[in-house]
Structure 1
Amino acid sequence: MIEYRHGRQPLHEYLRHHARTMPDKTAVVWYGRRISYAELDDLSDRFAESLRERGIGQGDVVALFLHNCPHYLIAHFGAQKLGAIVSPCNPHAQAYELEHQLADLDARAIVAGEELVKVVLASRARRNVEQIYAVRYGDMLPGVLAIDVPDCMRLPQEDAPLLPAGVVDFSEALAQAGDFVPVETIAMDDVALMAYTSGSTGLPKGAMISYDCALYKTAVGADGFGIGADDVVLADVALHHISGMNTGLAQPIYAGCTVVLLHRFDATAVLQAIESCKVSWWYTMAPSLPSVMACDDAATYDLSSLRTTVGTSFGVQLTEALADRWSAFASGCRVYEAGYGLSETHSSDTLMPPDAIKWGTNGKPVPGVQVRIVDPGTDIDLPVGMRGEILLKGPVAYKGYWLRPEATAALFCDGWVRTGDVGVLDDEGYLTFLGRTKEMIKVWSYSVFPEEVEAILATHPDVRQAAVVGLPDPDRGEALQAYVVLKSEAAERMRIDRTGQARDRSDQKIIEWCLQHMSHYKVPRTVIFRSGLPASESGKLLRRMLHEPGASIAAS
């Protein structure tokens, strides 16, 4: 194990420690508004008490359904101070998608961005959610903005619409909450976080993360990245994503540094934030780097404070050439690929050593984590340099999936975690991630589960059956292609050639429908019509055959 900076205690106790020892230090910068550690600790106490006053308690699930904002940190740490379980929801989700997670969790409360309240109310799972909090992102903005805010964000002086009946204004709830008495019965092995992921296959499942695991992976991440109390961290990656949560929420609070929070990535806002806040450390997605450098006035900004940029390759590969370009542009700052990890393990299973960068790899195992490469059919260890399935083992026990005993059993192999990923270890211990053995599709930085998209497509009034596969895409990493079997009435109306391509706008109409019923990154880029889908004797869909011409005959 490692030596924790302020002992083995939950991360919300690190927040409380910093609030007591350096109350006036800035914890969060929100477009120029500075929130101190004392204020963040007090506001998260207030949220914990607000939940308690509404009957939410230890072990209950609180869902977070909002984009980056200070309220996210307040809700995250406030719920955990109460001993409740935090479950981030993708703010791009539509009602059908949100419904699965809320129903699976039996969530008792949800904190939603005000623009997303309508999605919550449209979800059938809403009837089981007892408390809905609405966050108005602009209510914590400063009077004078230091960084450009997104056009979608309402400024404090602008009138806000009334909230629907039964929906509580988040800021008003904090103002009205009484004094919070800390919970003394939280154990480090208790579940603190429920991160939704596919695991190896199937619909998303809740990966249970304990306070112990969250602390351990946060600590090795902060140590591996060299984040200290004097750093100013820029966070533009979504906090609901495990990598954004680690680098923009957990690690800054663990280290006691300052995080400059952006609602979402914006190239100009990044330049303004680095210059005005003297940002020293930035984690982002690789496509962000050329976007920032392409700004018309990029050369006019002072980026000399930026010491380190850590990236993850999605769509655009973080190559040594791109790193050299960014380093030259950003006053010589160090640039490298972050690492590799699973949601089930709170990520950060391997990290790139900053002083021994090896391009084309995903770094070395962090202290305490062991990595094996095995033959996926026999589980026999493979020699150095041979590709196989990646297996992981850490010093903190991983809990598996919420209410999924069979999936949890399949996750483990004699105490090792099966990743379903293909990789290779070299003779220096560096891991290279090569791809996935599972059918999950990666679009930009998001995980897309074929079964989920197929289930939504099946609700289209003209669709009898659908299957989805991922295809390489230079911009997205992978893009979805849907294979659709139409109901007979719809097939008779549509004009389709022998390759399955629509001669009219039939495919575009389905894509337009998808845009209204699922997150934008799950929408198929192309639609192919078929008369049937390949299946095994048992009826199981054979997705691998969809790539083969002639696997089925197009509708005519």
Structure 2
Amino acid sequence: MEEVLRKNWPEGLSKKLEYRSGERPLHEYLIQNAEEMPEEPAYIYYGNTITWKDLEYDTRRFAGFLKSKGIAKGECVGVFMQNCPQYLITHYAAQMLGTVVVPLNPMYKESELEYFINEAGIKAIVSGDELYQRIENVSDTTPSLQFSITTNYADYLPDSPTLPVPAELLMEKNIGTAYDMKEVTETAEPLPETEPIDIWNDVGLMVFTSGTTGRPKAALLTYGNALFKTAATAQGYRLEQEDRTLASAPLSHIAGMVMGVNIPVYSALQSVLLTRFEPEAAIQAIEKYKINKLYTIAMMNAAILNYPDIEKRDLNSLELNFATSFGMQVDESLAEKWKRITEGCILLEASYGLSETHTCDTFMPIEHIKFGTCGIATYDTSFRIVDTETGEDLPPGEQGEIAVKNPGVFKGYLNRPEETDETLREGWVFTGDIGKIDEDGYLYFIGRVKEMIKSSGFSVFPGDVEAMMSEHEAVAQVACVGVPDAEKGEVVKAFVVLNPSYETSISEKELVEWARDKMAAYKYPRAIEFIEEMPSTSSGKVLRRFLKE
């Protein structure tokens, strides 16, 4: 299998991973950037240019404040914000102290927050003003939480923004009983020395997984896991200091974190930061700041392509766009439309990965794109495809459970030894995903083991049916689940968001008939339901369990 995995390694790309400044935690790269290029732009936030010196100094001061409040190495700090410079400052300040960063999705409500705070034993949380009341509401039932800091996103806005500003950036400051981040950062003494880090053993990040069953589990990731995956992704996609990126995917999601928090610091490149994705703001950012490397979720590309008068906009600076197939597929059709509107930008599937491996276990060779796949194994990465019944390794072309091994693999789940032993076996992460590797070394993701549909004794994977349904021009988004059937055990039901031009010109029955002609009898959807919007996470991942319920 190893020989197959390296078969299509890009010509001219080194097969050895070479860290830009050695095996050091990423906050040391931030410090190095501030020393070597203090006045160079690091991030641009709606027109506010934040230099490496600015970012490092504010980070050191906030780290000094956290330390003065008793935050110590190994303790957990929650980050409950939308994208903003304060997110970056909190992340790296916490890591300068050797603490564990716990990203909290800004969509979380009180019951979810209560669970995560207690599960991780979070000692301090930094939140956006608009989210703080939710923390206040659970303060009596979260004993580990000692204090909170709030921040107003407008604190880092320029007097005259250069891009459209979302409404939540203009709300009045609401501190409540918490500390104000701007005030404490301005008055705190900068942290004189960072905490010594054992890079491959010290945990620097705790990411809650959104498993298909049970409550989320906390995956423990080391400082080295983060460095390795950041360096591998940057080198695989040839990201350099001269590049200009756009960070609009949620930083609280592991993929958005790699692309928006880690890579700009590791590669010392300039990134335009948006609090959230909005087509007009993203388009203007590309036009004004000449973005040339872009990470998106496929639905973002679709939103831009369908934006009024998009053909009159200037997206020609774009060269490479790595995208994730959440909600819709990154397929050849989407790539061709993107190439035309940008006059040449390459759109490809970004990677396969999961929280337990700090994501980005594959990358797509730019010279040999194979649509419908997740690309090839990244640096120092091995894959196995395992028979779910016998546990035996399967050859190329056969479907089974994906197992992956590399230096990005997590240490285990917090306080979950049984689940850790089930997932992590002799350094291999058994992902619970079904896939295959073809004869050219490309990985195909087919679906989750626990989302597998058993119809007439056959295994049906939602992703497989969804990919075929997406070929119909009426289908904008599709998600499939299994529903009980007295005769077949289960049958497939598809939920479809229609393209606007087909909303009155096609029926569910017609789409079922089309699918029956395209798929095996056990596989095609027996029922289709049109919906206006697909339930999804903030990162765009479709929540099939909500559809099933």
TM-score bracket for this pair, using the shorter chain length:
0.7 to 0.9
Q: Does 1:248 align with 2:240?
A: no
Give the aligned partner of residue 128 of structure 2.
113
The answer to whether the 8 Å contact 1:200/1:420 transfers is no
Cα distance between partner residues in 2 of 1:319 and 1:38:
41
Give the aligned partner of residue 61 of structure 2.
46
Matches within 5 A, 1:186-265: 186-188=197-199, 189-198=201-210, 201-265=213-277
Cα distance between partner residues in 2 of 1:367 and 1:298:
38
- Report the number of matched residues: 460
Matches within 5 A, 1:78-227: 78-123=93-138, 124-154=140-170, 160-165=172-177, 167-188=178-199, 189-198=201-210, 201-227=213-239
Give the aligned partner of residue 27 of structure 1.
42
The answer to whether the 8 Å contact 2:129/2:174 transfers is no
Q: Does 1:474 align with 2:489?
A: no
SS in structure 2 of the partner of residue 64 of structure 1? strand
The answer to whether the 8 Å contact 2:327/2:542 transfers is no
The answer to whether the 8 Å contact 2:358/2:410 transfers is no
Q: Does 1:288 align with 2:303?
A: no
SS in structure 2 of the partner of residue 474 of structure 1? strand
* RMSD of aligned Cα (Å): 2.7
Q: Does 1:426 align with 2:442?
A: no
- 1:184 offset after TM fit, Å? 4.1
The answer to whether the 8 Å contact 1:315/1:473 transfers is no
- 1:265 offset after TM fit, Å? 0.9
What is the TM-score with the length of structure 1 in the denominator?
Answer: 0.79
| Alignment partner of 1:364 out of 355, 358, 376 | 376
- What residue ranges of structure 2 are gaps of 5+ in the alignment? 1-15, 453-461, 467-480, 482-490, 499-534
Cα distance between partner residues in 1 of 2:84 and 2:430:
34
**Residues 214 and 525 of structure 1: CA distance in aligned 2, closer, same or farther (over 3 Å):** closer
What is the TM-score with the length of structure 2 in the denominator?
Answer: 0.79
| Alignment partner of 2:279 out of 264, 267, 271 | 267
Give the aligned partner of residue 333 of structure 2.
321
Runs of 4 or more consecutive aligned structure 1 residues displaced over 6 Å after TM superposition:
440-443, 519-528
Cα distance between partner residues in 1 of 2:542 and 2:147:
29
- 1:414 offset after TM fit, Å? 3.2
The answer to whether the 8 Å contact 2:326/2:541 transfers is no
**Residues 184 and 119 of structure 1: CA distance in aligned 2, closer, same or farther (over 3 Å):** closer
Q: Which amino acid counterpart does residue 168 of structure 2 have in structure 1? A: C
Give the aligned partner of residue 417 of structure 2.
405
The answer to whether the 8 Å contact 2:409/2:429 transfers is no
Cα distance between partner residues in 2 of 1:196 and 1:294:
34
Q: Which amino acid counterpart does residue 189 of structure 2 have in structure 1? A: G
Give the aligned partner of residue 488 of structure 2.
none
- 1:397 offset after TM fit, Å? 5.2
SS in structure 2 of the partner of residue 398 of structure 1? coil
The answer to whether the 8 Å contact 1:109/1:131 transfers is yes
**Residues 77 and 287 of structure 1: CA distance in aligned 2, closer, same or farther (over 3 Å):** same
Cα distance between partner residues in 1 of 2:97 and 2:251:
20
- 1:126 offset after TM fit, Å? 3.8
SS in structure 2 of the partner of residue 386 of structure 1? coil
Cα distance between partner residues in 1 of 2:173 and 2:335:
45
- 1:75 offset after TM fit, Å? 0.4
Cα distance between partner residues in 1 of 2:60 and 2:278:
32
The answer to whether the 8 Å contact 2:220/2:414 transfers is yes
Matches within 5 A, 1:292-307: 292-307=304-319
The answer to whether the 8 Å contact 2:62/2:190 transfers is no
Q: Does 1:414 align with 2:419?
A: no
Cα distance between partner residues in 2 of 1:281 and 1:170:
32
| Alignment partner of 1:61 out of 66, 73, 76 | 76
Cα distance between partner residues in 1 of 2:543 and 2:213:
16
Q: Does 1:4 align with 2:19?
A: yes
**Residues 423 and 62 of structure 1: CA distance in aligned 2, closer, same or farther (over 3 Å):** same
Q: Which amino acid counterpart does residue 51 of structure 2 have in structure 1? A: S
The answer to whether the 8 Å contact 1:80/1:192 transfers is yes
- 1:369 offset after TM fit, Å? 0.7
Give the aligned partner of residue 504 of structure 2.
none
The answer to whether the 8 Å contact 1:315/1:475 transfers is no
- 1:439 offset after TM fit, Å? 4.9
- 1:523 offset after TM fit, Å? 11
**Residues 470 and 196 of structure 1: CA distance in aligned 2, closer, same or farther (over 3 Å):** farther
Q: Which amino acid counterpart does residue 89 of structure 1 have in structure 2? A: L
| Alignment partner of 1:351 out of 351, 358, 363 | 363
**Residues 525 and 211 of structure 1: CA distance in aligned 2, closer, same or farther (over 3 Å):** closer
Q: Which amino acid counterpart does residue 77 of structure 1 have in structure 2? A: Y
- 1:6 offset after TM fit, Å? 0.8
Q: Which amino acid counterpart does residue 142 of structure 1 have in structure 2? A: P
- Sequence identity (%): 39
Cα distance between partner residues in 1 of 2:49 and 2:492:
43
Q: Which amino acid counterpart does residue 4 of structure 1 have in structure 2? A: Y
Q: Which amino acid counterpart does residue 203 of structure 1 have in structure 2? A: R
**Residues 245 and 190 of structure 1: CA distance in aligned 2, closer, same or farther (over 3 Å):** same
Cα distance between partner residues in 1 of 2:248 and 2:195:
34
Q: Which amino acid counterpart does residue 188 of structure 2 have in structure 1? A: A
Deviations 1:80-132 (A, max 9, x none): 00111001011101000111110001100001111110111112544431120
Q: Which amino acid counterpart does residue 79 of structure 1 have in structure 2? A: A
**Residues 374 and 46 of structure 1: CA distance in aligned 2, closer, same or farther (over 3 Å):** same
Cα distance between partner residues in 2 of 1:211 and 1:525:
34
Give the aligned partner of residue 485 of structure 1.
none
**Residues 301 and 121 of structure 1: CA distance in aligned 2, closer, same or farther (over 3 Å):** same
**Residues 121 and 211 of structure 1: CA distance in aligned 2, closer, same or farther (over 3 Å):** same
Give the aligned partner of residue 459 of structure 1.
none
Deviations 1:194-241 (A, max 9, x none): 011045742111111101111001100111122110011111110000
- 1:303 offset after TM fit, Å? 1.5
SS in structure 2 of the partner of residue 163 of structure 1? coil
Q: Does 1:373 align with 2:395?
A: no
- 1:291 offset after TM fit, Å? 1.1
SS in structure 2 of the partner of residue 234 of structure 1? strand
**Residues 471 and 105 of structure 1: CA distance in aligned 2, closer, same or farther (over 3 Å):** farther
**Residues 161 and 20 of structure 1: CA distance in aligned 2, closer, same or farther (over 3 Å):** closer
Cα distance between partner residues in 1 of 2:299 and 2:194:
43
**Residues 439 and 322 of structure 1: CA distance in aligned 2, closer, same or farther (over 3 Å):** closer
Deviations 1:444-502 (A, max 9, x none): xxxxxx9xxxxxxxxxxxxxxxxxx99643349xxxxxxxxxxxxxxxxxxxxxxxxxx
SS in structure 2 of the partner of residue 348 of structure 1? coil
Cα distance between partner residues in 1 of 2:221 and 2:386:
26
